[in-house]
Structure 1
Amino acid sequence: MTFVVTDSCIRCKYTDCVEVCPVDCFKEGENMLVIDPDECIDCGVCEPECPADAILPDTHADAERWLALNTKLAALWPVITGRKEPLAEAEEWNGVPDKLPFLSEKAAVPA
């Protein structure tokens, strides 16, 4: 079992979840985070930390499509191990539904 990040993260990219992850399973894209399902230990500490409610267990009814996306992008993106500021537009985009069309599949640019 694993947890997955949904499109609620897109254009927000809060990293509160990253800060509490004991195994560094988060990967960072340009405008979203994902969880590497091969690294996640299913501890669940990340889920309540997300201000965008973007994290679900893979047993959730809507998780299958997000598991596929997380798996794909985790193979492409670098690990993120610490907290960063959310995207500038995070407050504006937090809570906006159906953000998948706004996903950038580019990896995060190193700071």
Structure 2
Amino acid sequence: MTHVVTESCIRCKYTDCVDVCPVDCFREGPNFLIIDPDECIDCAVCIPECPVNAIYAEEDTPPDQLSFIKLNAELSKQPGWKSITKRKPALPDAEEWKDKTGKLSELIRP
């Protein structure tokens, strides 16, 4: 099993999770983070670090977020999604977006 970043991260991109990852499995897009399932070791240390509760163990992913399992895997193979290993500031309007739902259409794919 692996972990997955879900919709709550879109347009927020808090990177607290990146600092604790022992294997550098996070990838960064313009307004979203993903977890590379081939790199994730299922340690779960990232889950409590996410201030918007966007990270789940694959088997615990809410039913309405299951498409993000495939999306994380797909985007991790795209060249525009680079490894991120150090915390960065969240997006400037993250606070405005953190509690919104239905954000998939806001996802920017490099």
Cα distance in structure 2, aligned partners of 1:19 and 1:40? 14
CA RMSD across the alignment: 0.9
Query: Structure 1 length as normaliser, TM-score?
Result: 0.92
1:101 equivalent in structure 2: 105
Amino acid paired to 2:97:
W
Cα distance in structure 2, aligned partners of 1:12 and 1:68? 20
Aligned-partner SS, 1:4:
strand
Aligned-partner SS, 1:101:
helix
Cα distance in structure 2, aligned partners of 1:25 and 1:51? 18
**Runs in 1 of length 4+ with deviation above 4 angstroms?**
none
Q: CA deviation at 1:75?
A: 1.0
Cα distance in structure 1, aligned partners of 2:101 and 2:56? 15
1:83 equivalent in structure 2: 87
1:5 aligns with 2:23: no
2:69 equivalent in structure 1: 67
Is there any run of 5+ residues in structure 2 with no aligned partner, and where?
A: none
Which string of whole-angstrom CA distances, capped at 9 and with x for unpartnered residues, describes residues 89-108 of structure 1? 000001111110100011xx
Which string of whole-angstrom CA distances, capped at 9 and with x for unpartnered residues, describes residues 37-56 of structure 1? 00000000001100111001
Query: Structure 2 length as normaliser, TM-score?
Result: 0.93
Q: CA deviation at 1:23?
A: 0.2
Is there any run of 5+ residues in structure 1 with no aligned partner, and where?
A: 107-111
Cα distance in structure 2, aligned partners of 1:64 and 1:86? 25
Aligned residues: 106
1:22 aligns with 2:26: no
Which string of whole-angstrom CA distances, capped at 9 and with x for unpartnered residues, describes residues 59-111 of structure 1? 024353111000011111110010000000000001111110100011xxxxx
1:50 equivalent in structure 2: 50
